[in-house]
Amino acid sequence: QQNGKPHFYKPIVESFEEAPLHVMVFTYMGYALGTLFGYFRDFLRNWGIEKCKAAAERKEQKDFVPLYLDFENFFKRNIYVRIRDNWNRPICSSPASRFDIMERVSDDYNWTFRFTGKIIKDVINMGSYNFLGLGVKYNESMRTVKDVLEAYGVGVASTRQEMGTLDKHKELEDLVAKFLNVEAAMVFGMGFATNSMNIPALVGKGCLILSDELNHTSLVLGARLSGATIRVFKHNNTKNLEKLLRDAVIYGQPRTHRAWKKILILVEGIYSMEGSIVHLPQIVALKNKYKAYLYIDEAHSIGTMGPTGRGVVEFFGMDPRDVDVLMGTFSKSFGSSGGYIAGRKDLVDYLRVNSHSAVYATSMSPPVSEQIIRSIKFLMGMDGTTQGTQRVQQLAKNTRYFRQRLKQMGFIVYGNEESPVVPLLLYMPGKIAAFARLLLKKKIGVVVVGFPATPLAGARARFCVSAAHTREDLDTVLEAIDEIGDLLQLKYSRRRKS
């Protein structure tokens, strides 16, 4: 029961299948071998036999504590660099469902790259957060953005609290509040700063933050900057969260045992590395039980979850008032940039006065605001069509289709059945590179992720499904993955669906 109303929540269907033992053994062996060779090559570099282009300690600083000597640097120098061609590939078109990639080669084993001048055209894009396909290049539907650019220019050159509040910001904020069905909203020029600059305005010394272990860096930075005490709970683990909440209420602050001034729970809507969705109903029940506040970052879930794209609150059929601070970004589903905080009017008014982002940062650029206004109106059907909702539903269909086919093929796929972020586990370091390279040969662009962004033995490919993908696009990708999966023996799942 929430806000006096009974709710029937959607069941959470998610899977995090463990890899078979032999896969783990081979994965660690792969890294062990790479590490051994790494030490050998560092030895050769120390003696000047092999050239190293990575940052190195300067000779005249030999009495200082080494600046670059930690495992992550060792890892980058000796393992990551060998497969670096699969990351940061330069793209020269908008992030639509098909995009163009600039071909590059390396003459020195991936230390540096050289462009060949060729463009790899029409690559199927499985890596962008362009979930609703709204981040495409200029066309007639974006005419209003062009008009605003002509009328207002690009820059605002002032902060929100000084002279930088424009009618476009007011219009956007009213629209965001209406879209989310809350009292008020405030927008900021950068999603990252929305978290890192607003959390410190809400909590400080003597407060406690309970943060999911997989929270985004912007949340982590905001929590650290706030000066509050931070305790981390296991990902989406409500038992662990309840234990921390209970301990916090019983024992209070360390040493003095005075009660915490505030307890703030920080979570995300969709976790972009795991494809999992926050267990919102359980977390809301806990926060009500222990009288804590809940801050939820909907960067990936706003626009993508729920029947009309209003995020995880709508997905679970809950009331927006169940969450104290609703945060989201405009850089994914809305094809723009920036972030928002929404909720009760007193919260938003407080942030308008106290947030560093409102006081010290330049306001959002007007054409950027207009692109968000256009996207929200499109989603809300205020453009006179139902295309916005259709896109949200298309995304849900594409997501289920793509996930189910991968599972039928026998891959280990992480996360919630309805998350458009789809991690496919690769595990072994050699396979990360082979998978991405072979797919690019077939004109499919994917994002692969490994240590330190994931645990050492948790390397994966992370697909982002979009409403703009056609069934033909998805089938082409699935066929290629099926073939490469057989070739590289990636079908590790023991729960293969018929």
Task: List interacting residues with ligand PLP (CB under 6 A).
Answer: 190-192, 195, 216, 218, 268, 272, 297, 299, 329, 331, 337, 339
Q: DSSP assignment, residue 238?
A: H
Q: How many CB atoms lie within 10 A of CB 434?
A: 18
- CA-CA distances (angstroms) from residue 186 to 312, 326, 368? 19, 11, 15
Identify which of residues 431 and 462 has a Cβ nearer to ligand PLP in the complex: 462
Cβ-in-10-Å burial (0-12, 13-18, 19+) of 238 comes to middle
Contact, 393 vs 385, CB < 8 A? Answer: no
Nearer Cβ to ligand PLP (78/198): 198
Stretch (H or E) spanning 171: helix 167-180
Element (H, E) at 367: helix 366-380
Q: For residue 203, give both structure tokens.
A: 């909590």
Q: Smallest gap, in angstroms, from Cβ of residue 332 to ligand PLP?
A: 7
How do strand 184-188 and strand 339-343 relate by DSSP bridges?
antiparallel
Nearer to ligand PLP (CB atom), residue 331 or residue 357 = 331
Residue 192 beta carbon to ligand PLP: minimum distance, rounded to whole angstroms: 4
Residue owning tokens 């390279």 = 437
Q: How far is the CB of 115 from ligand PLP (least distance, A)?
A: 26
Of the pair 133, 135, the CB lying nearest ligand PLP is at 135
Q: C-beta of 338: minimal distance to ligand PLP in Å?
A: 7
The three-point CA angle 236-239-245 to 5° equals: 100
At 410, list the tokens.
Answer: 């026998």
CB-wise, 313 or 490, nearer to ligand PLP?
313
Q: Given the complex with ligand PLP, which of 195 and 416 has the nearer CB atom?
A: 195
299: number of Cβ within 10 Å = 26
Q: Which is nearer to ligand PLP, 159 or 331 (CB)?
A: 331
Smallest distance, ligand PLP to C-beta of residue 177, A: 19
Q: Output 89 or 405, the one with its CB closest to ligand PLP.
A: 89
DSSP for residue 221? H
Cα-Cα-Cα-Cα torsion 320, 271, 374, 390, nearest 10 degrees, comes to -90
- Judged by beta carbon, residue 422 or residue 428, the one nearer ligand PLP is 422
Q: By C-beta, is 297 or 473 nearer to ligand PLP?
A: 297
**Apex CA 79: angle with CA 74 and CA 84, to 5°?**
115
Give the closest residue to 463 by CA, choosing from 174, 201, 27, 124: 124
CB of 306 to ligand PLP, least distance (A): 17
Q: How far is the CB of 270 from ligand PLP (least distance, A)?
A: 8
Taking the complex as a whole, how short is the minimal distance between the CB of residue 80 and ligand PLP, in angstroms?
21
Q: What is the 3-state secondary structure (H, E, C) of 102-151?
A: EEEECCCCCCCCEEEEEEEEEEEECCCCCCCCCCCCCCHHHHHHHHHHHH
Q: How far is the CB of 161 from ligand PLP (least distance, A)?
A: 21
Q: Report which of 16, 467, 27, 453 is spatially closest to residue 275, judged by C-alpha positions.
A: 16
Q: CB of residue 194 vs ligand PLP: minimum separation in angstroms?
A: 7
* Tokens representing residue 221 in the block: 């930075």
